[in-house]
């Protein structure tokens, strides 16, 4: 079974930066981390799910896409040798306060494996 685990969350002041990690462990038939498209989704306290961004596999060019509210402030990278994806967040705002989940896609937009999430709190 594939397991994902996010880390790096915490309390940060407005305008600050934070780097989240998403590490994969375990195995499943047909799952190869280096081929996986990894998506980040966040959920503000008491609110619904919000798509944050996506990084394709390196075979797919390692292309990234982001939601409008975070574009230009967030970036994604991956280290397939460590089976880890990184979400770099800068110029953080109070509205970025949320639990951040990473997930891998089964097909386009279908997130199969999820981590338990990591809480990011932006507050002075």
Partner 1 sequence: QSALTQPASVSGSPGQSITISCTGSSSDIGTYDYVSWYQQRPGKAPKLMIYDVVNRPSGAPSRFSGSKSGNAASLTISGLQADDDATYYCSSYTTMNTLVFGGGTKLTVL
Please report whether residue 45 would count as binding partner 1 according to CB under 8 A.
no
- Minimum CB–partner distance for residue 118 and partner 1 (Å): 11
The contact mask relative to partner 1 for 3-32 (x = CB under 8 A, - = no) is: ------------------------------
Residue 75: which of 25, 9, 17, 36 has the closest Cα? 17
Q: Which two tokens stand for residue 103?
A: 């997930």
d(CA 105, CA 72): 23
d(CA 122, CA 92): 7
Please report whether residue 79 would count as binding partner 1 according to CB under 8 A.
no
- Minimum CB–partner distance for residue 24 and partner 1 (Å): 14
- Minimum CB–partner distance for residue 15 and partner 1 (Å): 26
Token pair 């509210």 is found at 69
Please report whether residue 115 would count as binding partner 1 according to CB under 8 A.
yes
């Amino acid at each position: 079974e594939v397991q994902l685990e996010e880390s790096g969350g915490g309390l940060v002041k407005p305008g600050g930066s934070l780097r989240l990690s998403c590490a994969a462990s375990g195995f499943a038939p047909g799952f190869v981390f280096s081929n996986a498209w990894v998506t980040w989704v966040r959920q503000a306290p008491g609110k619904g799910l919000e798509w944050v961004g996506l990084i394709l596999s390196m075979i797919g060019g390692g292309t990234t896409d982001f939601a409008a509210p975070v574009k230009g402030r967030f970036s994604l990278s991956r280290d397939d040798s460590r089976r880890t994806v990184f979400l770099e967040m800068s110029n953080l705002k109070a509205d970025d306060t949320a639990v951040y989940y990473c997930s891998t896609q089964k097909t386009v937009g279908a997130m199969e494996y999820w981590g338990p999430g990591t809480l990011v709190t932006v507050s002075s």
